[in-house]
Amino acid sequence: MSRSFSRRSLLLGGLGLTTAAMAGCAAPSERGIADIAVFAGSLPETTPTGVGVHAMVDYLNDSGADFEASAFFDTALGDASTMINGLQEGTIDVGISGSSYFSGLVPELQAFELPFIFEDLERARAVTGPGAARDHIVDLFESTRVVGLSIWENGMRQLTNNVRAIHTPEDLQGIRIRTLPSPIQQAAWSAMGGLPQSIDAAELYTALQQGTVQAQENPLAEIEFRAFYEVQDHLSMTSHVYTPFMMGVSRRTWDRITEEQRTVLQEAAEVGRSAQLEANDIAEEEARGVLEEHGVQIVDDPDREAFRKLGVTVWDQFTDSYGQQLLDIIESM
């Protein structure tokens, strides 16, 4: 099987990139038409996010609200960090990336790096979907040069390793695990028994292959897409962290479009979100099948409560700096 989402049930078909937005973003033309570039940072087009972005762009172009929207992927306009800067400067109209990239603008988004703040995927989607909790998260962007638009997802993160089946924190003891470059994540994995090391995603496969680290954690679709099944023997369905994708629009772009166009842009973001979540569900199911085909041993019922009791001990690292409000809102949903 190919590791591209294009071979999955929701095909991109003939949808392709255009270059119209490269000539200039956001500023309406004399006819009142707004050129909008929707940029997915370093994410490839052949992913669930690609499906969502195309659905969003199609909605904008078919809305009758004078949009000429184009989609860009896979660092076509720069990497994720460049995208965040572009949103602030107005050189990129709409961007989507992991919440950790946006946390430089809104530090409270680091709450999503905390382990076990969500019981399951359904609850995570309820919090990040339309409603009071998401409204609060979006409002956190108010003092920045980016307008919070929507929250999509990367998904629930699962644990893989090439040492042994992991059912409990005791099984994780002494295993070198790659983590994101986040003090909260590193503290959490230390608390749960692992030996965390920060390694760039681009170097992770080689690090696993060479034994620099023995374990990693990512959503299933990412694990399959990056062929980690070639260097990892065991998967534990820990669902320890839910990673959202934040979508923001440059405030310069927001200020240049009409009220009607703002409404349509918000609607389009939700259409894209729905398409992305549906595609993500398909990708997760098919990714699991690929892992099983390659002989990965799956632990479906690890002791999540035992992991949670250790993981929540690092929550105060977040609340001491940013307060309890966001966590209270999440827990109240």
Using CA atoms, how far apart are residues 315 and 312, in angstroms rounded to an integer? 5
Residue 138, amino acid: V
| Sign (positive or negative) of CA dihedral 191, 194, 197, 202 | negative
Q: How far apart are CA 229 and CA 7, in angstroms?
A: 18
Helix (H) or strand (E) holding 208: helix 204-210
Calculate the average pLDDT of the chain.
89
Q: Residue 32: what pLDDT?
A: 66
What DSSP state is assigned to residue 75? T
Residues in the chain: 333
Residue type, 220: L
Q: Where are the domains of the chain?
A: 5-154+243-286, 158-240+288-321
Specify the CATH architecture of the domain 5-154+243-286: 3-Layer(aba) Sandwich (3.40)
Please name the residues in contact with 40: beta carbons below 8 A apart, sequence gap of 6 or more: 49, 50, 53, 71, 72, 73, 74, 95, 96, 97
The pLDDT assigned to 297 comes to 99
CA 19 to chain CA centroid, nearest Å: 25
Output the pLDDT for position 233. Answer: 98
What is the greatest pairwise CA distance in the chain?
66
Give the pTM.
0.85
CATH dotted code for 158-240+288-321: 3.40.190.170
pLDDT in tens, 158-185: 999 999 999 999 999 999 999 987 888 8
Of residues 133, 104, 99, 132, the one with CA closest to residue 114: 99
All residue ranges of the chain with pLDDT < 50 are 1-31
What pLDDT, on the 0 to 100 scale, is given for residue 44? Answer: 86
Cα 161 to Cα 213, 231, 234, 269, 298, distances in angstroms: 9, 8, 5, 36, 11
CATH topology agreement for domains 5-154+243-286 and 158-240+288-321: yes
How far, in Å, CA of 162 to CA of 234, rounded? Answer: 6
